[in-house]
Amino acid sequence: MILPNQLTVLRIILTPFVVFFMLGQGRYYSEIAIIIYIVAALTDWYDGWLAKKFNYFTNWGKVWDPIADKVLTAGTMISLVYLEVIPWIPVAVILLRDIFITGFRSYAEHVRKPFPTSRYAKVKTFIEMVYLNFVLISFLLEKSEVLPDGLRKFFGMLLVDEVVFWGLIVVMLLTVHSAYLYVKENFNLYKDLIKNGRS
């Protein structure tokens, strides 16, 4: 297995550890969760860089790289819901969309009619990750046992309820809209998927 694919697997493996330390109550768990999350996020950037630089593109990687991204995103979002940092309904919509589009994309690869990630979807993903990183890191740093009280209070103040809520609503709307565009632009493929699902 080539290195980019190994990094994809590593990202999936690291996700349960991020969740464990986010939800745990042990000493320095917040700091450990941040470190593991950053390492997992960096594997996403690094395996993409390696693939482009050395042309390390495989059918396996095309399917599993986005799945690894969704696993990490889903794990952290569900943990934030459990910790009552973000509401569950927008998260459920986002995750259902991701499951649908990931399955749709995998089907397209299977029938050899792949569709590229659109520029709009990339912008959506960027905004989603900025939002998630902001909420996750602010929340964990507020709980930090290393930072001084003043800095912890600062990160706590960043988590304004209205900002957290409406930021998530914006991410949800962009997510749903990008899914609609994918289906619209690949409608014949979508009809085939529905037809095969009924047969």
pLDDT tens-digit readout, 40-97:
999 888 877 777 777 766 766 777 788 888 899 999 999 999 999 999 999 999 999 9
Q: Assess contact for 40 and 15: CB atoms under 8 A.
A: yes
Does an H or E element contain 3, and which? helix 3-23
The confidence score (pLDDT) of residue 197 equals 57
Q: Assess contact for 21 and 77: CB atoms under 8 A.
A: no
Cα–Cα distance, 87 to 38 (Å, whole number): 24
Is pLDDT above 60 for 126? yes
0.85 cut: is pTM over it? yes
Average pLDDT over all residues of the chain: 87
What is 3-192's CATH topology?
Answer: Four Helix Bundle (Hemerythrin (Met), subunit A) (1.20.120)
The confidence score (pLDDT) of residue 56 equals 67
Q: Assess contact for 82 and 23: CB atoms under 8 A.
A: yes
Q: Is the dihedral of CA 36, 85, 16, 62 positive or negative?
A: negative
The answer to which of 49-58, 101-110, 127-136, 171-180 has the lowest mean pLDDT is 49-58
185 band by pLDDT with thresholds 50, 70 and 90: confident
1, 86, 123 from 61: Cα distances, Å? 10, 31, 21
Q: Assess contact for 83 and 143: CB atoms under 8 A.
A: no
**Neighbouring C-beta atoms of residue 37, cutoff 10 Å:** 25
pLDDT tens-digit readout, 13-32:
999 999 999 999 888 999 99
87, 143, 149, 190 from 77: Cα distances, Å? 10, 17, 26, 28
